[in-house]
Structure formats: structure tokens, C-alpha cells
Amino acid sequence: MKNYYVNNTAQLNGDHEVHTDDCQYFKSIVSKNYLGQFSSCEPAVDEAKKTYSTSNGCRTCCNDCHTR
């Protein structure tokens, strides 16, 4: 199980990326919401989409969900 967060600041393309707390980019995220503990990125992205419909996984830490 990993802890997942969604970045509250959208990227230039409008996506709100989902990250794990061990991602190399995690510390640089200024504003984020905790999504919970999940065994994979899919349910974390689903949870993030409840707030930001344009959520998808980080290419680095959630590659399986990157263009989901």
C-alpha cells in the first residue's frame, strides 16, 4: 500500500497529476490533497477524478495510470 496525493495545481495541459509520497517530484508540489492508501494507482486516480476530472498519474511514480 502506498500513500497517494493529487496536485491541486494543474499542469499546462490542464491535468492534475497523482503522485505517491515517495515520488522524486513529491516534495516540489506546493499544494496537494491526500487521496488515501491504495495498492495501485488506478483507485487513487479514480478518487482524484472526484475532485479534478482531468486527473491522471505521474509518468514517474504512477506510470500505469499516466494517460488514464
Q: Hey, where are the domains in the chain?
A: 2-65
Confidence at 68, pLDDT banded by 50, 70, 90: low
Asked if 54 and 10 count as a contact pair (C-beta separation under 8 A), the reply is yes
Confidence class for position 67, pLDDT limits 50, 70, 90: confident
pLDDT tens column, 20-66? 999 999 999 999 999 999 999 999 999 999 999 999 999 999 999 99
CB 64 within 8 A of CB 41: yes
Q: Are 25 and 32 in contact (CB under 8 A)?
A: no
